Amino acid sequence: MTSSNASTVGHRPAATTGRDELERRTTVELADILRDIIGEDYLAGVDITVDTTFNADLELESIEFVSLVARLRERFGSGVDFASFLAEMDVDDVIGLTVGDLVQFIADSVDAQGAPAHTTGS
């Protein structure tokens, strides 16, 4: 996997509260989309966290990952450049990501835009 934007969750120094909150809410949103795509029946009892892997934990089909990325594109718009993030990854690289990898990338992109991606109070 060789994406300049790819990074791994859990190796950063203590982040600001704003960043923590952004990652927490992005994780919740991502988990909601995943439950919608995969189905509650299969995910009953599965706790989706930053450490959850798409292949080993969720057994996500590659075509479901297509749906996931499409939903995320709709949600975050052109400010989050998923094409560049995924550009040099093979299918196996993509499915081998963790939820945290994706959350980190989205949070980095949102931070770089300098605009809040989440409305308050929801």
* Burial class of residue 94, CB neighbours in 10 A (0-12, 13-18, 19+): buried
Least distance between another protein and beta carbon 67 (Å): 8
Q: Which range, of 10-18, 22-30, 53-61, 102-110, touches another protein by CB under 8 A?
A: 53-61
Q: Which is nearer to another protein, 36 or 42 (CB)?
A: 42
In 3-state terms, what secondary structure has residue 5? coil
Binders in 89-108 for another protein, by CB under 8 A: 89-91, 94
Q: H helices within the chain, ranges in order?
A: 17-38, 40-43, 62-76, 82-86, 91-95, 99-113
| Per CB under 8 A, 28 contacts another protein | no
Residues of this chain that interact with another protein (CB under 8 A) are: 42, 55-56, 59-63, 65-67, 70, 78, 81-91, 94
